[in-house]
Amino acid sequence: MGICGTAMGNAALLARAAGHEVLGADTGVYPPMSTVLAESGISLHEGYDAARLEKLAPDLVVIGNAMSRGNPEVEWLLDTRALRFTSLPALLNETILSTRKNIVVCGTHGKTTTTALAAYILRENGRDPGFLIGGVPLDPPTGNHLGAAADPFVIEGDEYDSAFFDKRSKFIHYAPHVAVLNNLEFDHADIFRDLADVQRTFSHLARIVPRNGHVVLNGDDDNLRALGPLPWTRVTRVGLGEENNVRITNFAEGPAGVKFSLVWDGQLWANVSWALPGIFNVRNAAMAATAAALALGGRDRISLAPLARFRGVKRRQEKLVDRTGLAVIEDFGHHPTAIAETLSSLRNRHPGALLTAVFEPRSNTARTKTLQAGFMRALSLADEVFIGAVNRADKLKETDRFDAEAVVQHLETQGVHAATAPTNAEVLEKLKTATLTAPGPQPRVVVFFSNGSFDGIIAAFAQAAK
């Protein structure tokens, strides 16, 4: 149920690869996942129908966490108990993860890129890892792969809940042998009460890492350090500070790209030059490389030369237009920290350019006031800001809803030109007028931040800008 979601669709493909017959339902069966699923031989059904489900009578129903009470199939399953049902994370544990050496990549930011990096590094070093990536990677060339049973399985470990009937974080199901704790901040205000609540679920994950396993921890993150020493397993700290086991040194970023070095216990591990932007991606690489090395038995088992060829993940600082005087970039950022890191990196990449940020308050937390002050600080790093319509604004009380007008007014006091509009279509017209109608002599970078479709205005602007 909910098969066309990225995670659910990739999991369905893994189940198919493992030899199961798979079929699924979703509302508005939609590409690209619908196309991939259909081509793989998975039957797709439009909408939810209890009578149809009863007739199909599958051995197991996997309920996506977008499903809730009131769904006709959910209600029939609960009324009759005629069929077994489970959550996606529990399915993955039961069918794949319980017998594998798993690298579980967790954190508020960077999970998708770090998961892709770990899988890519292992593949480029001659291994056949399994993996499940919650996005569309360029490297490796697919978001899911069963891999060889003897090799690690790399999975993106989301702290969001598992299903309406299982409020544990998804990653609790993933049987970590190597748990990668990339960073920790307050997010998902619809699930967690406060920062301590998020820390609690990360602590629960760390407690199920076996004594012969590893925790790879961002040693520069105060919120992760607060979890304590974790004495029941082996901990490897990664970061910029001298107290870390794996240190990032010699970081430099400019128009030509990024250079950095990795030093493990005082010995040079690798010098790297690559195309991905920012110190945040360097940290992702260091965490992924350390996890891959530990899963295979040590740093000498891994060459990091392939990092020079790594192309990243779609919608993560993805360049849509690159012509004289104008670059257009799409980014999945929906948390203040991620937006601030990306804007800082773009300053380094495009010195002297006018930086325009276009932000959609879309995620369950971003569309509320919870992190509004943080968004104000992050967006003030741009020269110009356009704020889209609050997604599903009618579902929120006005007192709880992200206040775009207040953010615009604050940014203007900081010397940042800002604008908003009641609809994203109107935001697009304002953006086009400001950037394409009379662009001026200064080169410009336009970056869109959204974890959704932004009502199609990203593609529309990119087409108009070419």
For residue 245, name the pLDDT band (cuts at 50, 70, 90): very high
CATH topology for 96-309 is UDP-N-acetylmuramoyl-L-alanine:D-glutamate ligase (3.40.1190)
Integer angstrom CA distances of residue 249 from 241, 268, 271, 286, 349:
9, 10, 9, 11, 19
Q: Which two tokens stand for residue 281?
A: 């991606």
**Confidence check: pLDDT of 120 > 70:** yes
**Confidence check: pLDDT of 30 > 70:** no
Q: What is the average per-residue pLDDT within 165-188? A: 95
- CA atoms lying within 13 Å on the CB side of residue 439: 16
Q: Which two tokens stand for residue 105?
A: 């990549």
Q: What is the average per-residue pLDDT within 13-20? A: 91
Token pair 């993955």 in the structure block, residue: 92
Domain with CATH 3.40.1190.10 in the chain: 96-309
The answer to whether the beta carbons of residues 359 and 386 sit under 8 Å apart is yes
Q: Which two tokens stand for residue 190?
A: 């619809």
For residue 83, name the pLDDT band (cuts at 50, 70, 90): very high
The rounded mean pLDDT for the chain is 94
Q: What is the average per-residue pLDDT within 252-260? A: 93
Considering the segment(s) 6-88 as one domain, its CATH architecture is 3-Layer(aba) Sandwich (3.40)
Query: What is the structure's pLDDT at 256?
Result: 87
| pTM of the model as a whole | 0.88
**Confidence check: pLDDT of 411 > 90:** yes
Q: What is the average per-residue pLDDT within 255-275? A: 95
Which numeric CATH code is attached to 318-465? 3.90.190.20
Domain with CATH 3.90.190.20 in the chain: 318-465
Closest CA to 363 of 433, 424, 459, 449: 449
Domain with CATH 3.40.50.720 in the chain: 6-88
For residue 452, name the pLDDT band (cuts at 50, 70, 90): confident
pLDDT tens for 345-397 read 999 999 999 999 999 999 989 999 999 999 999 999 999 999 999 999 999 99
**Confidence check: pLDDT of 427 > 80:** yes
